[in-house]
Amino acid sequence: MYGRFVQGRPKRRTERPSRLSGHAGSRETELLCLDVLNTGRAALLTFRTTKEAYAYVSFLHSVKERLDPRGLLDVSVRGRNVRIRKRLKL
């Protein structure tokens, strides 16, 4: 998996081994979610396979329950890409 922040900032790429057992790690995922919540920038993660992307999303939902009680994080999957962004409450 590698990731980057969207919205014109310099790309922040994190190379990860493509093992489902070690995908991203819970601490790194927590920091990523907090970063998205605090800065408002979207994070785009690309995996090697669609199966990996969906496995990561199911893991992400368990992390999201703790970090995001108000439901501000929006997670979407399209193919191998997972986008995490801050939902705007009007």
CA distance 46 to 44: 7
- What's the pLDDT at 22? 47
- What's the pLDDT at 66? 87
Closest CA to 47 of 67, 68, 17, 11: 17
Number of domains in the chain: 1
- What's the pLDDT at 90? 56
User: Which residue in the block uniquely carries the two structure tokens 């009007």?
Assistant: 90
Task: Convert the pLDDT of each residue in 20-79 to its tens digit.
Answer: 444 556 788 888 899 999 998 999 988 888 988 998 898 888 888 888 888 899 999 999
Please determine, for residue 89, whether its predicted confidence score (pLDDT) is greater than 90.
no
> Which domain, by its residues, includes 26?
2-86
Domain CATH for 51: 3.30.1710
